[in-house]
Copies of this chain bind each other. A is one copy, B any other.
Amino acid sequence: MIMKLGEGIESGLHCTLLLAMVPSDAVLPARALAEFHGVSESYLLKHLQALAASGILDAVPGPKGGYRLAHASQEITVLKVVEAIEGTEPAFRCTEIRQRGPCSGKSSSYRIPCAINQTMLRAEQAWRDSLNKVSIADLVQQISGKVDHKSVQCATQWIGERLRLQTVSKET
């Protein structure tokens, strides 16, 4: 498909998933999130900021700062993450070509929505509905017990060394 979802979605979802698995009283700096996923920090920062702007992540500022989930992982759907990064505009943009050409009527003739546009938008709603049914907690559960033991051990230690415990408790 020419239709392509930005790569930010993949890294945004993986970061949100990782943050769902760390203690809730700690944050992870952007650098650690980037390094853990093998992506550039400047690239990732844009998406982390979008996730924070949408209220999915908390961005704790300062030298002890970093990112953490702003809500319980079961309250964050995959759709929310995707829309935080990609926006909510429809992928299909009807330019009303039915109103062009030699036989177009008065604009009042086009009060009924274009059947083609409706069909395309209904499909996008099905796409959104599907993503809205899956929470980050569901993803945690799906991968739980399925990741190679050595990788889990490595990740636990690697992330543990980079977690920043917060003395001020999370706002609710």
A residues sitting closer than 8 Å to B (CB atoms) are: 1-7, 9-11, 13-14, 17, 35-39, 78, 86-95, 97-98, 100-106, 109, 112, 115-116, 118-120, 122-131, 134, 139, 142-143, 146-148, 150-151, 154-155, 158
Chain B: minimal CB distance from A137 (Å): 12
Chain B: minimal CB distance from A157 (Å): 9
Q: State how many copies of this chain the complex holds.
A: 2
Besides A1-B86, A3-B86, A119-B139, 14 new A-B residue pairs in contact (Cβ under 8 A), listed by A number = A1-B89, A5-B120, A10-B97, A13-B116, A14-B97, A14-B98, A35-B102, A38-B100, A38-B101, A103-B158, A104-B151, A115-B143, A126-B126, A127-B127
Knowing A35-B101, A131-B119 touch, does A106 contact B9 (C-beta < 8 A)?
A: no
